[in-house]
Amino acid sequence: MNNDPIISVRELSKRFGSFVAVDRITFDVARGEIFGFLGANGAGKTTAMRMLCGLSYPTSGSGTVAGFDVMRQGEQIKRRIGYMSQRFSLYDDLTVLENIRLYGGIYGLTRREILRRAVTLLDRLQFRREADTLVGSLPLGWKQKLAFSVATLHRPEVVFLDEPTGGVDPVTRRQFWELIYEAAAEGTTVFVTTHYMDEAEYCSRVSIMVDGQVRALGAPAELKRQFAAGSMDEVFRTLARGAKRTE
Amino acid sequence: MGGFLSFVKKETLHIVRDRRTMMIALLMPVVQILLFGFALSTEINNIDFAVTSPNRTEAVRRQVERIAANPYFTFKGYIAPNEIDNALRSGRADAVAVFADDYDRQTAATERGEPAEKAVQLIFDASNPNNAAAGAGYMQSILLAGRQTGAAAPETRLLYNPQMKSAYNFVPGIMGLIFILICAMLTSVSIVREEETGTMEVLLVSPVRPIRIIFAKMIPYFLLSCLNLVSILLLARFVLGMPMSGSLAGLVGISLLYLMLALALGLLISTLANNQVTAMLISGMLLMLPIIMLSGMVFPIENMPGILQGVSCIIPARWYIEAVRKLMIEGVPFADVLREVLILAAMTAVLIGVALRKFNDKLE
Amino acid sequence: MAARNAIEAEGLTKRYGALTALDGVTFGVARGELFGLIGPDGAGKTTLFRLLTTLINPDGGTASIAGCDIVRDYREIRKRVGYMPGRFSLYPDLSVAENLDFFAALFGVSAEASRDLIAPIYRQIEPFRTRRAGKLSGGMKQKLALCCALIHRPSVLLLDEPTTGVDAVSRSEFWDMLSELKSKGISMLVSTPYMDEARRCDRIALINEAKILGIDTPQGIVSRFDEPIYALSGRDMYGLLLAARRAEGVRECYPFGEAHHLIPDAGFDAAAFARFLAGQGFADAVIRPAEAGIEDVFIKLMHHEQ
């Protein structure tokens, strides 16, 4: 396996007119890492994540995701990543199996392959009996776990998670993080944003964005030492209190 | 009262700030009137005609002049009988009037009441059947009216709309459609929007009776529709040149009644729909189609099968359109539309009653 | 009758068809108390708020706010409570000032009447008074919504997930504002899915699947966890988790941020366990006693329910 960083970003910027949404951010994410991408509302997280997913072009700077250039190879990037957001990820009016088939089809898996992976996925989540249940009628926590598994169905090299655990109960939240650990152990890189600062502690490394810039980068333990704080929540508040802009 | 006015103000701000919707609401009637009035009219325009007459007597020439003087017909000249087919095919003429060589004698015979051959034959290019049929009708009436003496000649006179201008018929229809669309659709969408965004929850939890909130909501839409009423009436009078010979006050009065009915309908829809798309679909499809198809706006009610005639009776637009037609085109006194007014008033009362019953101050 | 409690609920039950959204919920919020309702989405928090705000009627049980029954005296309640629903419930196309004026008119008061109450909050959004509410940041929106809920000087404030989707700094500021309101004697019921916000409340109720799991002060809730608990950490966190679960003497082990939390069976020997892990290839594993948090209690009570 190669040891190049799976995500590598240098001086990446995005301007909207005179507004600098993302201001020369630079960082690397190693393969298999769980990378927490934190920031206050309006700090530029979403814009930065869109650029990494090949959904929007940077104004300047450079970056690669899974070895492809974010400037020119958005399409190749999209094929190698998975994406899940709290707001939208599965169709409520399709059954569990129909959702799996749909996403497998979108990523060009063969029918046999989809079926094989669907069985593995359902077994792992102990969802076998719910295969023909409408996703809309599942409890929120189940949906989130399913959404994550579907987002990694095509074995992407990186999976981007946008606030994946909002509002789920503590037990399910832990099961969700176990899925993330498992994916990371199998070599998938996990790039995750969250408002739960205690969740930042699960990450191997985190970055904290303030006013479009990356102001802190490191393992949670390191950052807590650096800012002489007892928790990531304190680290975050120390940094974000100085923020000049709100959305 | 101060509270009530600030509701009205808030609602007005919603409308004014949503520029696009406001422009659509204000311009839609204007565009529709102009569209139906000019572009989509079923009336005939500019028929090129040629004449074949082996024997151009004074009477024939007079008849030809009479047709040519009509703005719908343009005289393209005399042609020989063997050129008729070619002229129609090539499109040089849409119609050919063929006068018999003994036209004078035949018309004289007809006038004496003696049996005679047909004196004139009209040949029309019927690739556009409406145009051809209507054109033939016009030309016939011109020819009939132009005969020496009118004594025994059957005379056709088109009442109320002597020029058969179809725009006249469309205006009441458009009014019936537009007011329902704007009032019912916009009010229902704006109420449902508050339910969707959660602001309705806060309003309900306040001590204000929801019914006041709802009425405050209707006022700006009512005013907006009044603005539309004014613009439609002005367009009808001065752009389409409609006579407006009936009672203007009666016309405005029945329109205001109809606006209230439309608002009540909007309120009722808002209690049935749980999101803006549904509200839009209900008011769009469920209201618009019956109005277009069954209210007499496009198809005459008398020509419908019995069952559809029955259905048309429960469509408010039918009564409104009928009343507006009478007032705007026929120019009858207000007393003659009393039946329609009463029916509309009863419908409004029922709709308001049902809507208020269904609308409660709980979320269930 | 002057009620002692600001909010009183007794066996409150609500069903939607076959689904029981709220099942026999009983609790009381004292006057001037900041009471937290902590639980995940779908636990029944919003249903409880809708019952208390008289938007829906219960299928069983009773409740009163400031002595007024939620079914019988619902009009009276609507005058006395301030309510902030879970979703952003202001008009995005109206400016900050217009929203405030509208809500003042809604309750038939002038915006001045509650100036002293909302001033500390309003001051923070005043620079944006002409900005449309839809263009405010998440934190600002919450502040404006709070101002609007306070405009008629309610004696009881009901806040349904006011901090969801808001960043940690704004959340912390929001709780500071609630503490200030509490000092002015306003009783508050606040729901949140964030367990870490529990410590900002006087008392909390943990709620899950339509039932209340426990009610106590935050310290009281934590002290209910009467078993030893260990924190387990190392480089390979996932491997460690799986290994710990295989080990004997471990009742439960679950991820808990930086370290896993491990709940042992009786007679657990941490040193022996560390040796076992070293034997499994986790020489760097660290195991040390830890203090239970509210989440640990929640998890324990959830298991207990099942």
Decide if pLDDT at C211 tops 60. Answer: yes
- Mutation target vs C (from B12, B189, B205, B213; most C CBs, 10 A cutoff): B205
pLDDT over threshold 60, residue B159: no
Give the mean model confidence (pLDDT) for residues B296-311: 81
A41 with C167: Cβ contact below 8 A: yes
Burial group, residue C242, by CB count within 10 angstroms (0-12, 13-18, 19+): middle
B334 has a pLDDT exceeding 90: no
Question: For residue C205, what pLDDT is reported?
Answer: 96
Asked if C171 contacts C163 with a C-beta cutoff of 8 angstroms, the reply is yes
**Residue C200 at interface with chain B, using a CB cutoff of 8 Å:** no
Closest-CA residue of B relative to C108 is B3
Residues of A in contact with C254 (CB under 8 A): 174
In chain C, what residues touch B275 (CB-CB under 8 Å)?
Answer: none
How far does B217 lie from chain C, in Å, by closest CA? 13
**pLDDT by residue (tens digit) across C239-251?**
999 999 999 899 9
Decide if C78 and B364 are in contact by the 8 Å CB cutoff. Answer: no
DSSP code of residue C284: T
- Concatenating the DSSP letter of every residue in B286-351 gives IIHHHHHHHSSSSS-GGGS-HHHHHHHHT-HHHHHHHHHHIIIII---GGGGHHHHHHHHHHHHHH
* Overall number of domains in chain A: 1
Q: What is the pLDDT of residue C257?
A: 86
Q: What is the CATH number of the domain that holds A143?
A: 3.40.50.300
* SS3 sequence of chain A: CCCCCCEEEEEEEEEECCEEEEEEEEEEECCCCEEEEEECCCCCHHHHHHHHCCCCCCCEEEEEECCEECCCCHHHHHHHEEEEECCCCCCCCCEHHHHHHHHHHHCCCCHHHHHHHHHHHHHHHCCHHHCCCEHHHCCHHHHHHHHHHHHCCCCCCEEEEECCCCCCCHHHHHHHHHHHHHHHHCCCEEEEECCCHHHHCCCCEEEEEECCEEEEEECHHHHHHHCCCCCHHHHHHHHHCCCCCCC
The neighbouring-strand residues paired with C65 are C7, C68
CB contact under 8 A, C169 and A237: yes
Question: Would you state the pLDDT for residue B129?
Answer: 65
Q: Which of A5, A9, A107, A16 is nearest to A51 (CA)?
A: A9
* Alpha carbon of B212: minimum distance to chain C alpha carbons (Å): 11
Give dist(CA C214, CA B126) in Å, integer. Answer: 86
Q: How many other CB atoms are there within 10 angstroms of residue A112's CB atom? A: 8
pLDDT at site C250: 92
| Residue (of C9, C49, C40, C48) closest to C298 by Cα position | C40
- pLDDT, residue A2, reads 63
Look up residue C91 and give its two tokens. Answer: 């008009």
Model pLDDT, residue C285: 93
At residue B155, does pLDDT exceed 70? no
**Chain A hits for C208, Cβ within 8 Å:** 169
**Interface chains of chain A (3 or more CB pairs under 8 Å):** C
Q: How far is A108 from chain C (nearest CA, A)?
A: 31
Reading the block at residue A84, the tokens are 């899940």
C-alpha C224: how far from its chain's center? 19
CA distance A12 to B33: 55
Q: Residue B47's pLDDT is what? A: 82
Residues of chain A whose C-beta is under 8 A from some C-beta in C? 39-42, 139-141, 163, 166-172, 174, 177-178, 181-182, 184-185, 195-202, 220-221, 233, 236-237, 240-241, 243, 246-247
Q: Model confidence over A160-200: pLDDT tens digits?
A: 998 888 778 888 889 999 999 999 999 999 999 988 888 88
| Region of poorest pLDDT, from B354-358, C189-193, C219-223, C266-270 | B354-358
Among A7, A8, A13, which residue's Cα sits nearest to residue A209? Answer: A13
In a domain, A1, yes or no: no
Domain span holding position A169? 7-241
Residue closest to C232 by CA, chosen among C290, C293, C286: C286
pLDDT higher than threshold 90 for residue C111: no
- Read off the tokens for A135: 């996703």
pLDDT at residue number B209: 79
Is the minimum CB–CB distance between C107 and chain B shorter than 8 Å?
Answer: yes
Q: Does B339 touch chain C (CB under 8 A)?
A: no
Distance CA A39, CA A7 (A): 19
CA distance A177 to C257: 9
State ipTM: 0.83
Kindly report the nearest CA distance between residue C39 and chain A, in angstroms: 7
Distance separating alpha carbons of residues B90 and B96, to the nearest angstrom: 13
Residue among B18, B206, B364 whose CB faces C93 most closely? B18
Nearest to C55 among B199, B204, B208 (CB): B204
Q: How far is Cα B118 from Cα A203, in angstroms, rounded to an integer?
A: 100
Give A32 or A245, the one with higher predicted confidence: A32
Is the model's pLDDT at B1 over the cut of 70?
no
- Residue B206 to residue C56, Cβ atoms within 8 A: no
**What CA–CA distance (Å, rounded) separates B191 from C91?**
13
Cβ contact A–C (≥3 pairs, < 8 Å): yes
State the pairing for strand pair C19-30/C34-38: unpaired
Check pLDDT > 50 for residue B161: no
- The minimum CA-CA distance between A232 and chain C, rounded to whole Å, is 10
Kindly list the residues from chain C whose CB atom is less than 8 angstroms away from the CB atom of residue B203: 106
pLDDT averaged over chain C? 91
For residue A28, the distance in angstroms to the closest alpha carbon of chain C comes to: 20
What pLDDT is attached to residue A8? 96
For residues B324-346, average pLDDT: 89
- pLDDT reported for residue C65: 95
Nearest CA to CA, how far is C178 from chain A (Å)? 18
> Is residue A2 assigned to a domain?
no
Span C94-111, average pLDDT: 90
- What are chain C's domains? 7-222 (3.40.50.300), 230-290 (3.30.70.100)
**pLDDT at position B151:** 36
Q: Residue B156 has what pLDDT?
A: 43
Asked if C110 has any chain B CB less than 8 Å from its own CB, the reply is: no
Partnered with residue C211 across adjacent β-strands are C208
Say which of C137, C196, C239 has its CB closest to residue A247. Answer: C137
Please determine, for residue C79, whether its predicted confidence score (pLDDT) is greater than 80.
yes
Chain A, chain C: beta-carbon pairs less than 8 Å apart: 104
In DSSP notation, C137-165 reads -HHHHHHHHHHHHHTT--SEEEESSTTTT
Beta bridge partners of C127: none
Q: Which is higher by pLDDT, B111 or C297?
A: C297
Q: What is the pLDDT of residue C195?
A: 86
Q: What is the total residue count of chain B?
A: 364
The domain ranges of chain B are 2-40+165-363, 47-145
Query: Does residue A168 contact residue C41 with C-beta atoms inside 8 Å?
Result: yes
Q: What is the mean pLDDT of residues A139-147?
A: 88
Asked whether A and B share 3 or more beta-carbon pairs under 8 angstroms, the answer is no
Give the per-residue pLDDT at A87: 67
User: Residue type at C263?
Assistant: I
Taking only the tens place, the pLDDT of each residue in A12-24 is 999 999 999 999 9
**Cα–Cα dist B23/B333, whole Å:** 35
Number of C-beta neighbours around residue B286 at 10 A:
14
The tally of CA atoms less than 13 A away on the side-chain side of residue C299 is 20
The conformational region for residue A165 under phi > 0 = left, psi -120 to 50 = alpha, else beta, is alpha
- Contacts of C among chains (3+ CB pairs under 8 A): A, B
Instruction: Compute the distance between CA of residue A240 and CA of residue B349 in angstroms, rounded to an integer.
Output: 59
A41 and C241 within 8 Å at the Cβ level: the answer is no
CA B57/CA B39 separation, integer angstroms: 39
Select the residue from C258, C260, C286, C291 to test the A interface by mutation, using most A Cβ atoms within 10 A. Answer: C258
pLDDT at A69 over 50: yes
Q: What is the mean pLDDT of chain A?
A: 90
Interface of C with A (CB under 8 A): 39-43, 135-140, 164-172, 193-196, 208, 236-239, 241, 254-258, 295, 298-299, 302-303
B274 φψ region: left (φ > 0), alpha (ψ -120 to 50), beta (else): alpha
Q: What is the mean pLDDT of residues A30-38?
A: 94
Contact C121, C129 (CB under 8 A): no
Tell whether the model's pLDDT for residue C232 goes beyond 50: yes
Instruction: Give the pLDDT confidence score for residue B167 in this predicted structure.
Output: 61
Using CA coordinates, name the residue in chain B closest to C76: B207
- In chain B, the residue whose alpha carbon lies closest to the alpha carbon of C109 is B3
Question: In angstroms, rounded to a whole number, what is the distance separating the alpha carbons of residues A158 and A151?
Answer: 10
Three-state DSSP class for residue C191: strand
SS3 at position C95: strand
First to last CA, chain C: 41
pLDDT at residue B158, as a whole number: 44
B47-145 has which CATH code? 3.40.1710.10
Across the interface, of B14, B201, B207, the residue whose CB is closest to C55 is B201
Q: B197 and C79 in contact by Cβ < 8 A? A: no
Does C166 contact A195 at a Cβ distance shorter than 8 Å? yes
Question: What are the pLDDT digits (tens) for B2-43?
Answer: 578 888 888 899 998 888 888 888 898 888 888 876 665 555
Nearest to C302 among A171, A220, A241 (CB): A171
**How large is the average pLDDT for residues C275-286?**
92
Residue B18: is it exposed, middle or buried by C-beta count within 10 angstroms (0-12/13-18/19+)?
middle
Question: In this model, does residue A46 exceed pLDDT 50?
Answer: yes
